[in-house]
């Protein structure tokens, strides 16, 4: 049973904060007390979540307002019991940051054999598709956590 989960994307302002908040919310609703954090392999450090991400999560009753982007680090990688990434190159980048992370790093869409494309500065339709894939990944992992 994983209690410390790190979710990683590129800038830590779009996909990973959305996945962090959705995964935490789902685990809490399932009666768990998880620690879920997010980071980026090329984080826009201290930036808030993208306005579209904030808006989409507000529509679900989740407040991304307090989120601030942070860089993936050795300390975060070692803190996590499970690391979920959006794309395969994120796994590779994390392996460069901390080689010990490789055995516990998986795609969020692992069970669907699906990466989550980056919606940054893209249309709402692209955002909708990315969030749909994040929802599917969260649901699939929730059954296994």
Q: How far apart are CA 108 and CA 14, in angstroms?
A: 14
Q: How far apart are CA 75 and CA 128, in angstroms?
A: 32
Place of tokens 């796994």: 91
Question: Within 13 Å of residue 87, how many CA atoms lie on the same side as its CB?
Answer: 14
9 part of the active site: yes
C-alpha angle 9/18/108, rounded to 5°? 55
**Catalytic residue selected from 25, 98, 118, 135:** 118
**Catalytic residue selected from 15, 24, 37, 91:** 15
**Catalytic residue selected from 9, 24, 37, 91:** 9
Tokens representing 54 are: 């904030």
63 part of the active site: no
122 part of the active site: no
For the annotated catalytic residues, the residue numbers are: 9, 15, 118
């Amino acid at each position: 049973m994983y209690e410390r989960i790190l979710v990683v994307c590129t800038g830590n302002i779009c996909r990973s904060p959305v996945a962090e908040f959705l995964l935490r919310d789902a685990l809490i609703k399932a009666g768990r007390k998880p620690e879920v954090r997010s980071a980026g392999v090329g984080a826009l450090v201290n930036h808030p979540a993208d306005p579209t991400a904030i808006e989409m999560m507000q529509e679900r009753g989740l407040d991304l307002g307090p989120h601030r982007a942070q860089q993936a680090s050795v300390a975060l990688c070692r803190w996590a019991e499970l690391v979920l990434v959006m794309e395969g190159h994120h796994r590779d980048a994390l392996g460069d940051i901390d080689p010990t992370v490789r055995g516990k790093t998986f795609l969020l869409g692992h069970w669907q054999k699906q990466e989550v494309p980056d919606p940054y500065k893209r249309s709402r339709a692209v955002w909708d598709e990315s969030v749909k894939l994040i929802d599917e990944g969260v649901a699939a992992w929730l059954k296994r956590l």
